[in-house]
Structure 1
Amino acid sequence: MTTTHRFGTALALGALTMGLGSLQTAVAQSPHNFSANIGAVSNYLFRGVTQTQDKPAIQGGLDYEHISGFYAGTWISNVDFGSGYEFEIDLATDTFDVSSYSSPGYELDLYLGYAAAINDDLSFDLSAIYYAYPDGNDLDFAELGASGTWKWLTLGLAYTVYGQADKADGVKSGEAVFIQGDWYYYAALDFALPYDFGLELRGGYYDFDYNDGGNDYGHWGVTISRDAGEFGTFSLNYDQVGRDTYDTDPQFWVGWLKEF
């Protein structure tokens, strides 16, 4: 994945968070809950960086949740990382090779975890997620994550435990390579507003284990959402990356999410 689940940046975490919320309303009827979601975004952003070359994406997922707090699911989205050429020079044999590469067409995420409330104000979430690109080369990676929420504040982190791209001397502008040892830290403030509106303020920092910090970056964003009942949730979003190694232009995008 080039470089931030998801439904864009805000609803990447949003789709999973909303799924956990549906558990709390369903457990009175059954210890098991199955749900699905579908969404569309004008630009799929993952931790501040576009995954679709600033183009739209169609996304959706399936989730299982148990009254105990255990959950598992899958999520899919189209992606576009661009295409180009790779150059390799072997000084020992004095040979020069050129090979082309193209973006995978889609991302498929598999995740599981455990979430529980300690009291009315405090909760936590432990998770594992595998990001797969079945038609891509050496792009899959896996993370372990943990987060805690107190009222309107969420703090969390994710650690990359596996990455297929295990050789990275450097990256092109706007791209990232995921290998073992990467850390991602994030925080979010979520507020309920009148008339079924919601406000989220968020920020994150990516600490990569390669290139001596040359590709680490921070990002921040804002989402205003509106729950439209059976018509789903609509959002207006702003995201920004704070390092010129990447695209630092402000990103404005819209999203829609419907759960079943």
Structure 2
Amino acid sequence: MKKLALAVSASAVVLCGLAPAAFAQSSAQEGGAPTDAAAAAAAEVSPHTFTANVTLASEYRYRGLMQSNRRPAIQGGFDYAHSSGFYVGNWNSSISWLGDSNPKVSAPIEMDFYGGFKNTVTLAGLEWNYDAGVLQYYYPGDYPTGFTRPYTTELYVGAGAGPVFFKYSQALTNLFGFADSKYSYYADLSANVPLNFWDLTLNAHVGYQNVKHVNSASYTDWKLGLTKDLGKGFALAIAYIDTNAHKSAYTNSYGRYVGKATAWASITKTF
């Protein structure tokens, strides 16, 4: 049952790149004329970008489903990006969904590892963004004998223009603990539209999760929200999240339906 973001995307959640940071310095000779070395230093731009982020969320939702049983979640990650478009990263979150589905499981952390390539290309006078990579979801912990491990590896490819982006992810392994679910896929259509007032961005998303050989587990999820840029690396987000997931497939051991609609909020700091 599970996961289906983030990340921070990229939409996004889950769910997107950062421009390389620039560093420049200059000096002047007596009389004010810059030296060749100073001019070269002023023009130098690092091709490397390192960032980190930390988030406090009212709960963790992924692809519309509860990951923390409606309890707050602490999340964070690290990213490296090269000016060529290559990137790698790690993202982590507190979770409870594995223990909620089977009390014999002790796996309170999700660790995601990803890498890929993203860039832009101009076609027919329109600038397109594209992204392709691989993502692994890892859940360290203790599992009872015979329990299908939730570890999942997905390949993804996406493209978009302007505020709209479409992403397709396909599992190369079983999907989040569903037995015999290799080659399940997730289709994600998202839009992030700047509203040009109060530094607000409108976030809209609809996704479809297909679970191979488990028809009752396939479902659609959707989200509508706002993100507010607070400055100094802080961002506040609120959203309404819902799904049409079948209760027969997505009710945990405590009797809670994990696809239930919710109001959600988070605050993120990027370094």
Tell me the TM-score normalised to structure 2 length: 0.78
The verdict on how the C-alpha distance between 1:152 and 1:255 changes in structure 2, with shifts beyond 3 A counting, is same
Q: Is the 8 A contact 2:20 2:48 kept in 1?
A: no
The residue number in structure 1 matching 2:185 is: 183
Q: Is the 8 A contact 1:84 1:101 kept in 2?
A: no
CA RMSD of aligned residues (A): 2.5
CA distance in 1, matches of 2:58, 2:219: 23
- Match for residue 45 of structure 1 among 55, 58, 61: 61
Q: Is the 8 A contact 1:7 1:59 kept in 2?
A: no
CA distance in 2, matches of 1:72, 1:231: 21
CA distance in 2, matches of 1:57, 1:151: 31
Q: How far 1:29 moved relative to its partner?
A: 2.4
1:77 maps onto 2:93 in alignment: yes
- Match for residue 125 of structure 1 among 113, 128, 131: 131
The verdict on how the C-alpha distance between 1:207 and 1:26 changes in structure 2, with shifts beyond 3 A counting, is farther
Q: Is the 8 A contact 2:94 2:109 kept in 1?
A: yes
- Match for residue 238 of structure 1 among 240, 248, 251: 240
The residue number in structure 1 matching 2:141 is: 135
Q: Which moved more, 1:109-118 or 1:250-259?
A: 250-259
The residue number in structure 2 matching 1:214 is: 216
1:34 maps onto 2:45 in alignment: no
- Deviations along 1:104-144, one digit per CA (max 9) or x if unpaired, are 11000100000001136311000100100011531111000
Q: Is the 8 A contact 1:75 1:109 kept in 2?
A: yes
CA distance in 1, matches of 2:13, 2:245: 25
CA distance in 2, matches of 1:134, 1:124: 32
The verdict on how the C-alpha distance between 1:225 and 1:159 changes in structure 2, with shifts beyond 3 A counting, is same
The verdict on how the C-alpha distance between 1:136 and 1:199 changes in structure 2, with shifts beyond 3 A counting, is farther
Q: Which moved more, 1:24-33 or 1:242-251?
A: 24-33
CA distance in 2, matches of 1:42, 1:55: 7
CA distance in 1, matches of 2:87, 2:190: 22
- Deviations along 1:9-60, one digit per CA (max 9) or x if unpaired, are x66623762xx1x225559721111111111100100100010001111111
More strand as a share of residues? 1
Q: Is the 8 A contact 2:150 2:177 kept in 1?
A: no
Q: How far 1:253 moved relative to its partner?
A: 1.0
Give the residue type in structure 2 aligned to 1:101. K
Any residues of structure 2 matched to 1:1-260 within 5 Å, and which? 2-6=2-6, 13-14=12-13, 17=16, 20=17, 22-23=18-19, 26=22, 29-81=45-97, 83=99, 101-119=104-122, 121-137=127-143, 138-163=149-174, 168=179, 179-193=181-195, 194-211=197-214, 213-230=215-232, 232-245=234-247, 246=250, 247=257, 248-260=259-271
Q: How far 1:243 moved relative to its partner?
A: 3.0
Q: Is the 8 A contact 2:20 2:82 kept in 1?
A: no
The residue number in structure 2 matching 1:175 is: none
Q: Percent identity?
A: 24
- Unaligned stretches of 5+ residues in structure 1: 87-99, 169-177
Tell me the TM-score normalised to structure 1 length: 0.81
Give the residue type in structure 2 aligned to 1:79. I
The verdict on how the C-alpha distance between 1:77 and 1:127 changes in structure 2, with shifts beyond 3 A counting, is same
